[in-house]
Structure 1
Amino acid sequence: MKAPLALVFCVIVGLAAAAPEKTYTNKYDGVNVDEVLTNNRVLGNYLKCLMDKGPCTAEGRELKRLLPDALHSDCSKCTEVQRKNSQKVINYLRANKAGEWKLLLNKYDPQGIYRAKHEGH
């Protein structure tokens, strides 16, 4: 079940390995984000990785590395699929994992800049 581990690229937004080009790689754009979101074990492992509470897969390490850039650039290097999947992940976490979402925001957006931009979504 390694393919679904690419979720959080779409998590939080849907990212993958960075390339020096204008967009992130589309290597993980085919991942079924819905399957990842509904698999508590896989989603939990991603969240632990992002919060430095557990080990990271290679995909998790890439996500963790790229997430700050994606947040600060408003996903400007994301593909359209990554933007769509990122919003899906954000909405899911807000609605179903509010505590974890708050922890992620506190870690990756401590000044509330991202929150302020996206509260209406």
Structure 2
Amino acid sequence: MNFVLITIVTLSVFVLVKSQNAYTGKYDNIDVDKILANGRILSNYIKCMMDEGPCTNEGRELKKTLPDALANGCNKCNERQKAAAEKVIRHLIKNKNNDWKRLTNKYDPNGQYRKKYENQYKSQA
């Protein structure tokens, strides 16, 4: 009986810790390709991130998690979030470099993470 209780408590703690070490997955089904292909929608997301316009719920969540995700290499991201982040970064570096610079100036003012991401994704472009 004690073994079962200990096992349940251990699993509960593991699930709680795991959930605190991950970002929400409720926006994982967003079509990132569609956003990147639509200049108006992409511009609205960038304005949200730059505090220059209103934010959707997804934009607010992204804005909230972005500093942490940059700092820790997206290690709290699930695989779908990592793939989306890589796609967005590659797109911004290649096609929207001015917006990339504005975003990194705001969210990485010391350039601590910018070089890592630029080197990583420019070599994959």
Q: Which TM-score band (shorter chain)?
A: 0.7 to 0.9
Match of 2:44 in 1: 45
Secondary structure at the residue paired with 1:74? coil
What is the aligned-residue identity percentage? Answer: 54
Distance 2:105 2:91 in 1: 18
Residue 99 (structure 1) aligned with residue 98 (structure 2): yes
Q: Which moved more, 1:86-95 or 1:52-61?
A: 52-61
Match of 2:55 in 1: 56
Seen in structure 2, the aligned counterparts of structure 1 residues 82 and 66 have a Cα distance that, compared at 3 Å, is same
Match of 1:81 in 2: 80
Distance 2:40 2:100 in 1: 16
Distance 1:100 1:30 in 2: 24
Give the letter for the 1:100 counterpart: D
Match of 2:28 in 1: 29
Using the TM superposition, give the Cα deviation of residue 61 of structure 1 relative to its aligned residue in structure 2, in angstroms: 1.3
Distance 2:118 2:48 in 1: 25
Using the TM superposition, give the Cα deviation of residue 55 of structure 1 relative to its aligned residue in structure 2, in angstroms: 1.1
Distance 1:23 1:52 in 2: 25
- 1:61-72 to 2 correspondences below 5 Å: 61-72=60-71
Any idea what the Cα deviations from partners look like across 1:92-117, whole Å, max 9, x if unmatched?
01111010000001000000111132
Using the TM superposition, give the Cα deviation of residue 76 of structure 1 relative to its aligned residue in structure 2, in angstroms: 1.1
Larger Rg: 2
Distance 1:116 1:55 in 2: 29
Equivalent pairs, count: 103
Using the TM superposition, give the Cα deviation of residue 20 of structure 1 relative to its aligned residue in structure 2, in angstroms: 5.3
Distance 1:118 1:59 in 2: 23
Any idea what the Cα deviations from partners look like across 1:41-92, whole Å, max 9, x if unmatched?
1111000010111111222111111110111111110001111110000000
RMSD: 1.5
TM-score by length of 1: 0.79
Give the letter for the 2:44 counterpart: N
